Amino acid sequence: MSVIPAKDLSDYPWFIRLFFWKQKRTYGRVLDPGLLWGRSPWVFAAVALLYGALDRRRSPCSPTLRSLVTVRVSQINHCAFCVDINSATLAKRGVAMDKIDALSKWRDSDLFSQEEKLALEYAEAMTITAPGVSDGLRARLKQQWPDDTIVELTGLIAFQNLSSKFNAALDVPAQGFCKIPIERDPSATGPEV
């Protein structure tokens, strides 16, 4: 567990225990970040609902693209828990482990499509504050996707930054979903300038 311990499950409000029940059904246990977010019940409920909206089946962003972006943002933010669970989700969505292993060096890999590389470039530009998202990158995004897809992708990246920074700051450990390093090459965290 993190630097802040979990409370006894009975000390959380009933509506938060419903989220815990769903986590236990889905993952076989209550997730450590849920126990921490649950200390602020209304914020946790809002965060959980936002995640559900971003990870819905009818999202204009494919499940694989969503997972690639969330793993990459998690790597950059050094969130062991997020890399763990999001990599496991990526593998369940049919992505081979060699591609998952290559994610921190996606620029130098032939395993990623042009669409995936654009989304990963955008995720890095949003996550690493300098130099940020350029006008040129925005123009390439508009050439690739409709506005609604760009907005959704932006929301997903922003959400993953919230989640992974929260977990990293509180030192939430991996829970053993997938064995992949947080960041193999620290120099690969930033966009090429």
Q: Where are the domains of the chain?
A: 9-54, 59-189
- Closest by CA to 122, choosing from 158, 166, 78, 93, is 158
The per-residue pLDDT for range 88-136, each reduced to its tens digit, is: 999 999 999 999 999 999 999 999 999 999 999 999 999 998 889 999 9
Distance between CA atoms of residues 153 and 138, nearest Å: 12
Please tell me whether residue 12 adopts helix, strand or coil conformation: coil
Confidence label for 82 from pLDDT (cuts 50, 70 and 90): very high
Mean pLDDT of the chain, nearest integer: 91
DSSP string, 36-77: HHTTSHHHHHHHHHHHHHHT-TT-SS-HHHHHHHHHHHHHHT
| Architecture of the domain defined by 59-189 | Up-down Bundle (1.20)
Share of the chain above pLDDT 70, in %: 92
* pLDDT for residue 187 is more than 90: no
